[in-house]
Amino acid sequence: MVDNNEKILEELQKKSGNNVCADCGSEDPDWASYNLGIFICMRCASIHRGMGAHISKVKHLNLDRWEDSQVQRMKEVGNIVAKNKYEERVPPCYRKPNKYDPQVLIEQWIRAKYEREEFCHPERQSYLSGSMEGFLMKRGKEDSRYQLRKFVLNENEDSLKYHVRENREPKGVLKLSELNVCFAPAKIGHMNSMQLTFMKDGSTRHIYVYHEEPEVINNWYTAIRCAQLHLLQVAFPSMPQSELVLRLPKDFAREGWLWKTGPRPSDAHRRRWFTLDNRKLMYHDEPLDAYPKGEIFVGHESNGYHIRVSNTGNGCKEARFPFQLVTPDRIFCLAATTHDDRSGWLAVLQQTIKRPLTPQDSTIEATLVRKRTTSNSINIFSGR
């Protein structure tokens, strides 16, 4: 009978919907939650197991023994039926994770579905109101210490504020509609961490925060997205919601170390941390810098933006794989340490250059042009 059950499970797993993980979409899941009746991958199975057997009972499709009643449950439910139940009322601002996303996002998605049942009971979704208050650990601008700060989200004021002292004026006021937020566990070194990126006085500013509770940081992330969607709906009332969702915060297209040199042959190579945020390519001395050293707008190919690739060395032992980002104003000479790393950067930059410009892109470009013009004027005036 065991062999027969294995055969039945194998056939069930091949059916549409069951052939990908019910939670992250990974192909060919080989685990299952037999009380929930879903097929899941190994990574998600470990999260299910962590919720406890009173929520989810996990087995391997081939390595564990299956009872007839458990197989019958898998027949009756399956991923599609479970999705219709547990994801019935997912708000459009909620980010559904995929297999490449950070652990905190996937774990909180799974716990929200099955443990808290937030999408069966919308009243449990605490992040939809457009306001939120609470404390997060924030990295200092001038040093690496994290201090407890109170954050206040207010959709009506289009703001996210943080306070050094709770009853004092805010230390910082971030414009919510221009804020990008992304999880940053690898860079910050904490599983439950985020990076906030925004414009301040014409320059990009980064803030790094974390919280010990994964649910709390995920709620902050989602609350920001939901408030931003509400603001977009007011600003663009005739635009379909599906298009507005595409304007919500996105992860950086790519980050990592590259070597950069100036336009003159005599300029030395400098190792910089590069971040591609939409069409803004920023470079920093260190990954957790509060401000970038420089910002490059990556425009459309019709305006003269393109990539040049060289397979010859450039005099720097570590910068073995050079390439150039050509803009109308300047050629930026860059290099990666490995061939694969260069290929990754070339792919995302080419995609960016070929993507049509949006009105928001033009606003970013105008801001960076003003900043560059001001900087050049200061340098001329000071004789530098």
133-166: pLDDT as tens digits:
999 999 999 888 999 999 999 999 999 999 998 7
Segment 334-363 shows an average pLDDT of 91
Segment 111-135 shows an average pLDDT of 96
Segment 44-62 shows an average pLDDT of 97
- Judged against a pLDDT cut of 50, whether residue 378 lies above it is answered with no
Please tell me what DSSP assigns to residue 304: T
Quick check: 56 and 78 in contact, CB under 8 A?
A: no
- Judged against a pLDDT cut of 80, whether residue 374 lies above it is answered with no
pLDDT for residue 301: 94
pTM for the predicted model, two decimal places: 0.90
* Least confident window among 29-43, 73-87, 257-271: 257-271
Distance (Å, whole) CA 237 – CA 228: 14
Which phi and psi angles does 130 have, rounded to 5°? Answer: 90, 5
pLDDT bin (cut points 50, 70, 90) of residue 265 is low
- Judged against a pLDDT cut of 70, whether residue 27 lies above it is answered with yes
Residue-range domains of the chain with CATH: 4-122 (1.10.220.150), 127-239 (2.30.29.30), 254-367 (2.30.29.30)
Query: Dihedral through CA 49, CA 55, CA 61, CA 66, nearest 10?
Result: 120
- Judged against a pLDDT cut of 90, whether residue 320 lies above it is answered with no
Distance (Å, whole) CA 346 – CA 339: 10
* Least confident window among 13-17, 18-22, 264-268, 315-319: 315-319
- Judged against a pLDDT cut of 90, whether residue 367 lies above it is answered with no
Quick check: 183 and 251 in contact, CB under 8 A?
A: yes
pLDDT for residue 266: 73
3-state class of 169 per DSSP?
coil
pLDDT for residue 377: 42
3-state class of 368 per DSSP?
helix
Looking at this protein, which amino acid is placed at residue 2?
Answer: V
Distance (Å, whole) CA 318 – CA 67: 58
- Judged against a pLDDT cut of 80, whether residue 376 lies above it is answered with no
202 to each of 55, 289, 321, how far by Cα in Å?
50, 17, 33
